[in-house]
Structure 1
Amino acid sequence: MSEWAMDVSRLGIWGLPRPGRGCVPVLRRNFLVWRKTALTTVLGDVMDPMVALLALGYGLGSLLPGIEGVPYVTFLAAGSICMGALYAATFEATYSAFSRLHIQRSWDAMLNTPLSLDDVVFAEILWAAAKSMKSGLAILLVVVALDISRAPTLLWIPPALVLLGVTFSALALVMSALAKGFDFFMYYFTLGVTPMVFLSGVFFPVSQLPEALVQAARLLPLAPAIELVRPLVLGRMPAQPWEQVLQLALTAAVAIWLATALMRRRLLR
């Protein structure tokens, strides 16, 4: 029995994750591979939310009155930053992570070294979170460059993106642990990501929805992310930031535990 399998037998499949410094070489390996195709992956992660920001913000925005007292493009900027972080984390922790797990068998190779499964899982989450932060920061730079917002409070967005990235990445890796093939991810994108994007306040205030949907939308992890980031784009601090931070942190913690447990169960079969 391999060393990581003995660790799982001792801790149990549903035991708390115990990642260590073994995350570092996994992160380095992913970075070295990514560096070879960095340009294409950056374009893929950034272009969709950036096009939505520019086309809808300036195109549709020119036909709309201001929302919450600000131009529509400024209102949309916060949603675009969060949406970019969501898409980058989700694609990396689903299609790319599943390819390393199931197609390339990179996980098998790493688990034949002294690395533990928890190290590999946690490194995948951190790597996807780094890709998520890169996408969010790229859109933030566009917001500053086009003078959509240059508020001093924008400096708080990068720390917020770290929490957003870990949360979205851990949720997506849960899907990778359950997937039998790439087609499975369409369920998550159709039933999870798309409702989050359209119901969480990216394109319009959540308050415009029927009350039942407003309450449901507040449970989606993208909603507290936007509630945290939008005031920063508008030049003010969130009224109750710890509520959003706590919701995102709890979601991330549960998702990390669940992703680790499901990966243990999958690889021990």
Structure 2
Amino acid sequence: MWRKTAAASLVGNLGEPLLYLAGMGYGLGRFVGEVDGLPYLMFVAAGILAASSMNSATFEVLYGSFTRMTRQNTFHAMLATPLSVADVVSGEIVWGATKSLIAGSAIYLVATLFGAFEPMAAPWALAVAFLSGLCFASLGMVMTAISPSYEFFLYYTTLVTVPMFLFCGVFYPVDSLPPLMQMVAQILPLSHVVELIRPLTTGAPLHNAPLHVSILLLYGSIAYVASVLLIKRRIIV
């Protein structure tokens, strides 16, 4: 089904990140210079890759999964087979993470051509993008499970994903924020995605990788269990 809309889907996934990369990396980068010892283009490109992994997975499970569950009755049709609710939810989450990988691969290629990324770091960085997709797709599935309508998703994007996009180190170091905001940012999952992807793509030292991976797995695992229970309660009569 995705192949029928692949072109439009990729434009949506890539258009905004590439505009940020060009506008912020080249435009603002001329005035900023270096950040944390990196040219601003390299610094912001890593952040955009991390944010894209969040947005691609989130929007897929919010709008795509909600449509399949409530409008097309795809979930009900799947449950008429030997599949369980956990199987269906797992498929949705893995597909959301795959969308993160697809979008991330294209962004990585373009950023590498711009000279922003180390070419040989692609496997590790894209593996993190997929892990990020699993985490955020799981979180998004919880919202899908409790949402009464498409409009409900505006609460999640406005109150959760947009603040992470702005305050989790995508465009500037988290340590430039006030201490209280730094503490909040370090709790949020996107900060840990950025902390993994930026060193991998730029060749900078990677610190506390097991901690960052563990936090993403913890978020994803808790959200996965919650989404299975909530969707089961919603669609099993």
State the number of aligned residues: 237
Q: Deviations over 1:168-200 (max 9, x none)?
A: 100011100010000000000000001110110
Unmatched 5+ stretches in structure 1: 1-32
- 1:227 corresponding residue in structure 2: 195
Conservation of the 8 A alpha-carbon contact between 1:84 and 1:135: yes
Alignment of 1:179-190 (within 5 A): 179-190=147-158
Distance 2:116 2:138 in 1: 31
Q: What amino acid sits opposite 1:199 in the alignment?
A: F
- 1:140 corresponding residue in structure 2: 108
Aligned pair 1:90/2:58, yes or no?
A: yes
Distance 1:136 1:87 in 2: 11
- 1:239 corresponding residue in structure 2: 207
Conservation of the 8 A alpha-carbon contact between 1:129 and 1:165: yes
Which ranges of 4 or more aligned residues in structure 1 deviate by more than 2 Å? 149-155
Distance 1:72 1:115 in 2: 48
Aligned pair 1:156/2:147, yes or no?
A: no
Q: Deviations over 1:121-151 (max 9, x none)?
A: 1100001110011111111111111112225
Distance 2:40 2:204 in 1: 17
- 1:14 corresponding residue in structure 2: none
Alignment of 1:228-267 (within 5 A): 228-267=196-235
Deviation, structure 1 residue 237: 4.3
- 1:208 corresponding residue in structure 2: 176
Q: What secondary structure sits across from 1:45 in the alignment?
A: helix
- 2:75 corresponding residue in structure 1: 107
Conservation of the 8 A alpha-carbon contact between 2:61 and 2:137: yes
TM-score by length of 2: 0.97
Q: What secondary structure sits across from 1:93 in the alignment?
A: helix
Q: Percent identity?
A: 38
Conservation of the 8 A alpha-carbon contact between 1:153 and 1:236: no
Distance 2:70 2:169 in 1: 35
Q: Deviations over 1:77-130 (max 9, x none)?
A: 111101111111011000111000001111111111221111111100001110
Distance 2:184 2:141 in 1: 23
Deviation, structure 1 residue 41: 0.5
Q: What secondary structure sits across from 1:201 in the alignment?
A: coil
Q: What amino acid sits opposite 1:228 in the alignment?
A: L
Unmatched 5+ stretches in structure 2: none
- 1:217 corresponding residue in structure 2: 185
Aligned with 1:53 (options 21, 36, 59):
21
Aligned with 1:124 (options 83, 88, 92):
92
TM-score by length of 1: 0.85
Q: Deviations over 1:48-104 (max 9, x none)?
A: 111111111101111112111111111001111011111110110001110000011
Distance 1:237 1:164 in 2: 20
Deviation, structure 1 residue 154: 3.7
